[in-house]
Amino acid sequence: MSEDILKINNLFVNYKTRQGDVKAVNNLSFTLEKGDKFGLVGESGSGKTTLANAILRMIKPPGYIPSGDIFLDGTDVLNLSDSDLRKFRSTSVAIVPQAAMNALNPVRRVGQQMNDAFRDHGVKLSKSDLNYRLGELMETVGLRSDVPNLFPHELSGGMKQRVSIAMAVSLNPTLIIADEPTSALDVVVQRQVIDTLDQVKEKYGATILLVGHDMGLMAQFSNRLGIMYAGELVEVGSSDKIFSKPNHPYTEILISSLPDTKTKRKLVGIPGLPPTLLDPPTGCKFHPRCPKVFDPCSDLIPDKEIIDNKSFFSCHLASKNRAKVK
């Protein structure tokens, strides 16, 4: 039987600003099963990093969580005490942060930084055990065994990204969140970093939440996809099904915007700009840009159309199509 590792129920995350609250994550619910490789896709500003930070309990002022639940491996994340929070981070969930390149400490060698993380979590290793562990981690992420002796500035972008992945897995967390780990890399290195995540997943059996906006890359890596628009998950399902039959017009456009060398079909862009989350559109938030917009879209928030216990989408077309069938 599959086991739910992450359960998010009706989560809201806002940022207080002078103009009012930015509703960065809006009534979002989804579940990850153990071993899932879940790809979270969405345009810039759709709330992906905010969601990732919420799972890590890393939302800082002016951000706040007005309501919602996050359960990771049975732990009620939003009600963890400060002392449990430290242990929770890294051992239950670890992040390969967006701009991981800049997240490394420039004045400490890679191995020292990794040892700091072990010590922070009460793992004391002898020099030879540490060397062995670092060597093993470097091998898993495809780096030479001398990399722990180097400073971050001595590494290429792809190498730094792999070091970040090694750091994320070093304490064997249940869930690894990789926030756009490839966005600053060329396509060959992007592929290698994604393959590295795959190997790490196989070796450690972790569940992975990969955040990104390259639909093609995400679909290749993930067994399930979540499509985020303006702080909401508009469609969730298996990568195969979403690619063969997207249900939400936004998902459809994201797929049509991918180049296809076989058919050389015309690329489709998304008209208009993403909405401001300070004062988002009424009804379905995608309606001002949607090519299939019709009557109820501007006024009514669409219900969630449940396909099965792992797949849903939110679009008024569902009820229109049902009415047609009747």
Applying CB under 6 A, the residues found at the interface with ligand ATP are 15, 17, 22, 24, 42, 44-50, 62-63, 98, 213, 277
Nearest approach, Cβ of 98 to Mg ion (angstroms)? 5
Instruction: Decide whether 240 or 279 has the Cβ nearer to ligand ATP.
Output: 279
Phi, psi (deg, nearest 5) at residue 147: -60, -35
Instruction: Decide whether 49 or 196 has the Cβ nearer to Mg ion.
Output: 49
Nearest approach, Cβ of 48 to Mg ion (angstroms)? 5
Q: Which residue has the tokens 């242990």?
A: 87
Instruction: Decide whether 73 or 232 has the Cβ nearer to ligand ATP.
Output: 232
C-alpha span between 285 and 303 (Å, rounded): 13
C-alpha span between 202 and 90 (Å, rounded): 18
Instruction: Decide whether 213 or 241 has the Cβ nearer to Mg ion.
Output: 213
Query: What does 15 interact with, of ligand ATP, Mg ion, none (CB < 5 to 8 A by kind)?
Result: ligand ATP
C-alpha span between 22 and 101 (Å, rounded): 28
Of 88, 61, 65, 64, the residue nearest 8 (C-alpha): 65
Nearest approach, Cβ of 256 to ligand ATP (angstroms)? 20
Contacts with Mg ion by CB under 5 A lie at 48-49, 98
Instruction: Decide whether 62 or 291 has the Cβ nearer to ligand ATP.
Output: 62
Query: What does 42 interact with, of ligand ATP, Mg ion, none (CB < 5 to 8 A by kind)?
Result: ligand ATP
14 forms bridges with which residues in the sheet? Answer: 23, 64
Phi, psi (deg, nearest 5) at residue 175: -125, 130
Nearest approach, Cβ of 288 to ligand ATP (angstroms)? 16
Nearest approach, Cβ of 45 to Mg ion (angstroms)? 8
Beta strands in the chain (DSSP E): 4-17, 20-33, 37-41, 63-72, 75-76, 93-96, 175-179, 207-212, 224-229, 232-238, 304-308, 311-314
305 forms bridges with which residues in the sheet? Answer: 313
Instruction: Decide whether 134 or 228 has the Cβ nearer to ligand ATP.
Output: 228
Query: What does 22 interact with, of Mg ion, ligand ATP, none (CB < 5 to 8 A by kind)?
Result: ligand ATP
Nearest approach, Cβ of 47 to ligand ATP (angstroms)? 4
**Sequence-distant (≥ 6) Cβ neighbours of residue 236 within 8 angstroms:** 30, 224, 225, 226, 227, 310, 311, 312, 313
Query: What does 66 interact with, of ligand ATP, Mg ion, none (CB < 5 to 8 A by kind)?
Result: none
C-alpha span between 202 and 143 (Å, rounded): 17
